[in-house]
């Protein structure tokens, strides 16, 4: 099974993004980027053929659209780590560095194992060796847009870092990047999140379904990283390589803690079984069995 993306008939403005997507994806080979299998530009409308990614988008699951399943924190952290690694690859390891330019929950797809697949490279830009920044018209999705790029028109890799920071905040809070139904101070998620972080009130905005007795410190670490990613000045944000490294370390600790908890449960069950066996034999001996 494959997924086919096609432009609107008669809309010539969509042809350029399609060709751009082909150019960009031809440079990419990464397990966490959706694979382009083929294309056809000779049909009445351009067609792109992708691998089919079965479990929809991260947006569907975080915001529970169409009855999508709830993602526990461990899964969210892994997906965030995989997405960060994909962006790190785009910025640092692809044959030509690539700025995605539209990172958001809806562009992170999930396969049957809930593995992240970054998609939609129609707005992406290849970065030539002599370009530290690109002057361009602002493109992307409101709520995820880098404010520095909006102000200056200068696109850099740090624009993706900002958008990824918004993704982290959505994963932590379960709230949408923009929600016009909320009060004025809460409509723009980034601004509300940062204001609460400044007052050390993270507890007031974290999705309560994610909390348990052991993980709040890790949630705080991810929140701190997210806040660094959404700093107004791009030069003050970390690189995606640094972000990916931080998240990978947190995920390793999470897996260690999970394994340790399981081991403790197994040890407790073993001790309980031994205790019950001793009680049984004591009773049997006392009653002459």
The pLDDT tens digits of the residues spanning 224-272 come to 999 999 999 999 999 999 999 999 999 998 776 655 555 555 666 667 6
Q: How far is CA 177 from the centre of its chain?
A: 13
Q: Which pLDDT belongs to residue 248?
A: 96
Q: Which pLDDT belongs to residue 101?
A: 93
Burial 32-49 (b: 16+ CB within 10 A, else e): bbbbbeebeeeeeebbbb
CA distance 140 to 124: 10
pLDDT at 130 over 60: no
Q: Which pLDDT belongs to residue 263?
A: 57
CA distances from 161 to 104, 251, 262, 267 (A): 11, 19, 35, 43
Clarify whether 102 is annotated catalytic. Answer: yes
Q: Which pLDDT belongs to residue 39?
A: 84
Share of the chain above pLDDT 70, in %: 82
Among the ranges 17-21, 149-153, 175-179, 280-284, which has the highest mean pLDDT value? Answer: 175-179
- Report the mean per-residue pLDDT for the chain: 87
Residue 143 near residue 175 (C-beta atoms within 8 A): no
pLDDT tens-digit profile of 1-44?
Answer: 899 887 765 566 667 777 888 888 888 989 999 998 988 877 77
The upper half-sphere exposure of residue 169, i.e. CA atoms within 13 Å in the direction of its Cβ, equals: 31
Average of per-residue pLDDT across 149-167: 94
Q: Which pLDDT belongs to residue 45?
A: 77
pLDDT at 277 over 80: no
CA distance 241 to 213: 31
Q: Which pLDDT belongs to residue 195?
A: 97
Annotated catalytic residue, options 11, 60, 102, 130: 102
Q: Which pLDDT belongs to residue 212?
A: 83
Q: Work out the pLDDT band at 69, boundaries 50, 70, 90.
A: confident
pTM of the model: 0.84
Residue 169 DSSP code: H
Beta bridge partners of 155: 134
How many C-beta neighbours within 10 Å does residue 119 have? 24
Q: Which pLDDT belongs to residue 242?
A: 98
CA distance 74 to 258: 9
**Domains delineated in the chain:** 2-256 (1.10.510.10)
pLDDT tens-digit profile of 75-122?
Answer: 999 999 999 999 999 999 888 889 999 999 999 999 999 999 999 988
Tokens describing residue 60: 């569907």
pLDDT tens-digit profile of 205-228?
Answer: 999 999 886 789 999 999 999 999
Residue with tokens 């290849």: 126
């Amino acid at each position: 099974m494959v997924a086919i993306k096609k432009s609107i008939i008669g809309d010539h403005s969509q042809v350029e993004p399609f060709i751009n997507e082909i150019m960009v994806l031809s440079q990419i080979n990464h397990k966490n980027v959706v694979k382009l299998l083929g294309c056809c530009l000779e049909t009445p409308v351009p067609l792109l053929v992708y691998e089919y990614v079965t479990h929809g988008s991260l947006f569907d699951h975080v915001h529970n659209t169409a009855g999508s399943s709830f993602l526990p924190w461990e899964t969210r952290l892994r997906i965030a780590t995989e997405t960060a690694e994909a962006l790190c690859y785009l910025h640092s390891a692809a044959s030509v560095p690539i700025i995605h330019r539209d990172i958001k929950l809806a562009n992170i797809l999930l396969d049957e194992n809930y593995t992240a697949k970054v998609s939609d490279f129609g707005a992406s830009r290849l970065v030539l060796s002599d370009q530290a920044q690109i002057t361009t018209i602002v493109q992307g999705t409101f709520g995820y847009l880098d404010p520095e790029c909006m102000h200056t028109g200068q696109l850099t890799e740090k624009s993706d870092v900002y958008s990824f920071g918004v993704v982290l905040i959505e994963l932590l809070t379960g709230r949408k990047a923009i929600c016009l139904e909320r009060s004025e101070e809460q409509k723009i998620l980034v601004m509300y999140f940062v204001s609460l972080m400044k007052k050390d009130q993270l507890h007031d905005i974290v999705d309560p379904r994610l909390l348990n007795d052991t993980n709040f410190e890790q949630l705080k670490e991810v929140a701190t990283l997210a806040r660094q990613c959404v700093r107004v000045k791009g030069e003050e944000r970390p690189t995606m390589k640094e972000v990916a490294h931080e998240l990978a370390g947190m995920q390793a600790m999470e897996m260690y803690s999970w394994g340790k908890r399981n081991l403790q449960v197994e040890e407790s069950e073993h001790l309980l079984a031994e205790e019950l066996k001793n009680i049984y034999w004591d009773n049997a001996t006392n009653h002459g069995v």
